[in-house]
Amino acid sequence: MKRISFFLCLLFFSTMNAHSTELSSQSAAGIANSALLPGYSGVSATLNNSQSDEFEESWFTTAKTHQYLGLASVGLATLALMSPKPAEGKDDYSSEPHYQFAVAASYFGGAAVATGLAFHYKDLRLTKLKDPDTLHTLLGLIGAAGFLMAVDSAPDEGHAGYGTLGFASMLTAIKITW
């Protein structure tokens, strides 16, 4: 658990720094535009159409970090599902691909939940359970919890149900947003 906590803290602070940099650059651009254009109301205005054609979206944003972490957790869970299970009675199963993929899926699922809560907390409305953003959050939480419970209960107890619940919930959470 110490590794998970350290990883999540590191990820949170690194993406938080990127988020604050985005906000400060957007604020500076808004101030500059309002100073140059007296009627500026916060809507993007371009004087030259060729500038809008040259715009490229950044490959590293907080929303994309959250998206990539969620997709990685589902991909790793798929690999855990498809990889061979450890032999019965084996003492050290931590070197088995099934276990390693499952642990990695739980790490990435937890990181996806942490970044989602950190960067999209304004979208969360617990009073509106039918809202897609709220459903996405709740299903993502259930998915990450399912991954963690599957890893925690393996190999002594049956863990396929937890893993399946986590996989289905995380996949549904991703599908809701697309």
Phi, psi for 116 (deg, rounded to 5)? -65, -45
pLDDT string in tens for the chain (178-residue length): 445 554 444 444 444 444 444 444 444 444 444 444 444 444 444 445 555 567 788 888 898 999 999 999 999 999 999 999 887 777 788 889 999 999 999 999 999 999 999 998 888 888 888 889 999 999 999 999 999 999 999 887 889 999 999 999 999 999 998 8
3-state secondary structure the chain: CHHHHHHHHHHHHHHHHHHHHHHHHHHHHHHHHHHHCCCCCCCCCCCCHHHHHHCCCCCCCHHHHHHHHHHHHHHHHHHHHHCCCCCCCCCCCCCCHHHHHHHHHHHHHHHHHHHHHHHCHHHCCCCCCCCHHHHHHHHHHHHHHHHHHHHHHCCCCCCHHHHHHHHHHHHHHHHHHC
